[in-house]
Structure 1
Amino acid sequence: MDTESLVETLKTAGLSPYQADAYVALLDLGTAPATDVADASDVPAPRIYDVLRSLEDRGYIETFEQASLRARAHSPSTVLEDLTERADRLERAAQEVEKRWEQPELEAGDASIVTRFQTVISRAKSFIASASHQVLLSTTIENFEQLRPALQDAMDRGVSVRVSVHTSDEAVSLDADRFAGLCTEVHHRPLPAPFVALADRRRACFAHHPDSYDRYGVLVNDRTHTYVFYWYFLTCLWEPWERVYQARDDGYPIEYFDVRHLVRDLRDVDWEDDPVRLRVEGYDTNTGEECHLEGTITDVRVPFDAEAATGFELAGQVTVDLDVDGEHVSVGGWGAIIEDVEGTRLTVVK
């Protein structure tokens, strides 16, 4: 670094122009009379004494009398400490600027449009980190790896994690071991797809596939808008595609993230003659408070012939009735209003 650049940098670090100029001159001179420092710098001779004393007050130099006022630079430890502290503050400021630019704060009910995919990934990480019961994710393998630590932490907290991995080649084979400890269940969609991340039925991230003409992302902190992304995930990115990994073995307990999946599977068991116990995690629709309960299934109510229904013909109102210690409790799916409980995690524990 040349002298001019060093002087400019010291000015940026908080020294006045005269202080920076005099200090750099003194570094080159070693020990010198005040008048020599003035001659070697751009500091006017009448000002040099005040400038040197101000540098001494900062701990950068020391002055002493020897026929005339002389000065010498201290060990640079104080200067280095000041520069390091200033550099740290600048780095933190740069990080905060980037954070505020990339990650606009989302208040409840907000939706934001962003232009950088990395912003979507960063927000997905934070949504997954704050999830308490459910994460649904549509992603490439590459982006899955970026989210690996967040997904592992979520699983360790007992969060249900369902992932739809999309690839551009149908021949791609996914190693099930890759997902152990990171996911509850994985489906494989051998077609390009958007990136989608849903957390706790309230927060959503969406970004077009990188090859798409439209390149933008959507961040949502709102149950109603997230519900739209949920149905897109369910019908286009999850339901039609092959399951390639499941954390549980065959048998009980069996966990469901949608009451419709539960009702569809109940057609295959004789639940009326062979009682089925269901553990429910969800929200009380009257109070909005979280609730946990367990009971025996007593009825399944759908507005059509449930025996004949396949796939998502179950898209209408679906209710499962339980006997919970002699009390009737009705359980619905996402957005349940007329039922007693909106079920977020349904586990057959028979």
Structure 2
Amino acid sequence: MDLAELQDALEDAGLSQYQAEAYNALLQLGAASATELADACAVPTARIYDVLRDLETKGYIETYEQDSLRARACDPETVLEDLRSRATMLEAAADEIEDRWEAPEVDRHMLSIVKRFETVFQRAASIIREAENEVQLSVTADQYEELKPALREAFENGAIVKVSLHTDPERDGPSFESMDFEGVVTEARHRTLPTPFVLLVDRTQTCFAPHAHSLNEYGVLVDDYTLTYVFHWYFQTCLWEVLDQVYSARDDEPPVVYADVRRCVRDIEPTLSEDATVRATVTGLDTGTGDHVELTGEITEVYYSGMTDTTAGADSTPALSQLAGQVCFTLRAGEETYTVGGWGAVLEDVEATRVTVTKLEL
């Protein structure tokens, strides 16, 4: 370290420019009178006495009288201890700043924008483990492998786990045929086009980041029911409905579990139109009070906005576009009849978070 760098370091440690210059010169001279020191550095003679007094107060030098006021540098132990403690504190501050920048704690704000994908990914792993009802995830093959432990935990907790998997045919890496989905995923679909990272958990939390080929790196963290619903439709239309299924752990025979009323209606409408008996257990929320409800009974009819006389029938499973509006079914539970809707239900009696078809007989 040369003199100029030492000067800068002393100023960073809290000395003024004149104090650093005077102390630097005194280290070279060993001892000097005030006027000799002023001549040896850039401190004006009129200021040298004030500078020496301040350095003595800080413990850098000591002054004494010998015909005139003289000064010498103190044993540097105290100075060195101060400088090293400052260095330790600055290093710790640098580490803390890095930690806070890379992984900021996500509070209860509705929407957070972050700079780094790592922040999004770490948040995703955390909320997947907390999933109780449904996980919808769009990932690359490598990202899937990293999130597999969290997905397995969600699956074992009873969440329905849907994974839209992207593999790049021009890049070496695992193919979907070689990937392990059992005990981790309820259903997986596959695409080869670049895909953004999208995660939706329990209708409330969303993590989003552009795909790897995007020019911008950022992430969006959402903790809001309505905003997550917007991402849900993006996931359904672009990352799920149009893709080929490559794995399913769903049973063809009851009990069959649904987290999406639209999916349930699509599956049961053909059999219901043939006068089948469909019994189900519905868990969800009373749309009037917000209270948790659980109902068991028989599904007697289905309704959706795109329904016409020609769409009802055994061979006419409704397209997703026909289910974009209101979708519901009627459940007769004992002496009472309830209308059951899905995510965002307002007109129905119950917003279902899970429908379990327990019996389906022609």
Q: Structures share a fold, TM > 0.5? A: yes
SS at match of 1:198: strand
**1:17 aligns to 2:14 (yes or no):** no
Contact residue 201 and residue 226 of structure 1 kept, 8 A: yes
Contact residue 287 and residue 351 of structure 2 kept, 8 A: yes
Amino acid at match of 1:73: P
SS at match of 1:336: coil
Matching residue of 1:78: 82
Query: How much has 1:278 moved relative to structure 2?
Result: 1.9
CA distance in 2, matches of 1:152, 1:12: 51
Contact residue 125 and residue 150 of structure 1 kept, 8 A: no
**1:308 aligns to 2:305 (yes or no):** no
The alpha-carbon distance between structure 1 residues 128 and 94, as it changes in their structure 2 partners (threshold 3 A), is: closer
The alpha-carbon distance between structure 1 residues 205 and 73, as it changes in their structure 2 partners (threshold 3 A), is: same
Matching residue of 1:166: 166
- Structure 2 gap ranges (5+): none
Amino acid at match of 1:299: T
Matching residue of 1:342: 351
Query: How much has 1:50 moved relative to structure 2?
Result: 1.6
Query: How much has 1:188 moved relative to structure 2?
Result: 1.4
The alpha-carbon distance between structure 1 residues 298 and 249, as it changes in their structure 2 partners (threshold 3 A), is: closer
The alpha-carbon distance between structure 1 residues 250 and 310, as it changes in their structure 2 partners (threshold 3 A), is: closer
Contact residue 300 and residue 332 of structure 2 kept, 8 A: no
Contact residue 135 and residue 198 of structure 1 kept, 8 A: yes
Amino acid at match of 2:287: T
Contact residue 166 and residue 191 of structure 2 kept, 8 A: yes
The farther-off stretch of 195-204 and 230-239 is: 195-204
Between Structure 1 and Structure 2, how many residues are aligned?
A: 333
CA distance in 1, matches of 2:3, 2:249: 64
**1:266 aligns to 2:268 (yes or no):** yes
* Aligned alpha-carbon RMSD (Å): 4.6
Query: How much has 1:86 moved relative to structure 2?
Result: 2.6
Amino acid at match of 1:241: L
1:197-255, Cα deviation, whole Å (9 max, x unpaired): 3344345455554557x868784746555434423322332134333344667766533
SS at match of 1:286: coil
Query: How much has 1:343 moved relative to structure 2?
Result: 1.9
Match of 2:340 among 326, 331, 337: 331
SS at match of 1:337: coil
**1:122 aligns to 2:119 (yes or no):** yes
CA distance in 2, matches of 1:154, 1:81: 46
Query: How much has 1:332 moved relative to structure 2?
Result: 0.9
Identity %, equivalent residues: 34
Amino acid at match of 2:3: T
Quick check: which has more Rg, 1 or 2? 2
Query: How much has 1:72 moved relative to structure 2?
Result: 1.3
Contact residue 266 and residue 317 of structure 2 kept, 8 A: yes
Contact residue 259 and residue 353 of structure 2 kept, 8 A: yes
CA distance in 2, matches of 1:20, 1:152: 61
Matching residue of 1:2: 2
Amino acid at match of 1:310: T
CA distance in 2, matches of 1:183, 1:25: 71
1:138-181, Cα deviation, whole Å (9 max, x unpaired): 2222344565576566557654432101223399434332x456
Contact residue 270 and residue 316 of structure 2 kept, 8 A: no
CA distance in 1, matches of 2:282, 2:298: 10
**1:317 aligns to 2:326 (yes or no):** yes
Contact residue 120 and residue 208 of structure 2 kept, 8 A: no
CA distance in 2, matches of 1:25, 1:336: 79
Query: How much has 1:41 moved relative to structure 2?
Result: 5.8
Amino acid at match of 1:234: Q
Query: How much has 1:267 moved relative to structure 2?
Result: 5.1
CA distance in 2, matches of 1:322, 1:3: 85
The alpha-carbon distance between structure 1 residues 90 and 327, as it changes in their structure 2 partners (threshold 3 A), is: same
Matching residue of 2:52: 49
CA distance in 2, matches of 1:147, 1:16: 53
The alpha-carbon distance between structure 1 residues 24 and 294, as it changes in their structure 2 partners (threshold 3 A), is: farther
Query: How much has 1:91 moved relative to structure 2?
Result: 4.6
TM-score where L is the length of structure 1? 0.71
CA distance in 2, matches of 1:80, 1:149: 43
Matching residue of 1:283: 285
Query: How much has 1:111 moved relative to structure 2?
Result: 9.3
SS at match of 2:169: coil
**1:137 aligns to 2:137 (yes or no):** yes
The alpha-carbon distance between structure 1 residues 344 and 42, as it changes in their structure 2 partners (threshold 3 A), is: farther
Contact residue 129 and residue 153 of structure 1 kept, 8 A: no
The alpha-carbon distance between structure 1 residues 337 and 23, as it changes in their structure 2 partners (threshold 3 A), is: same
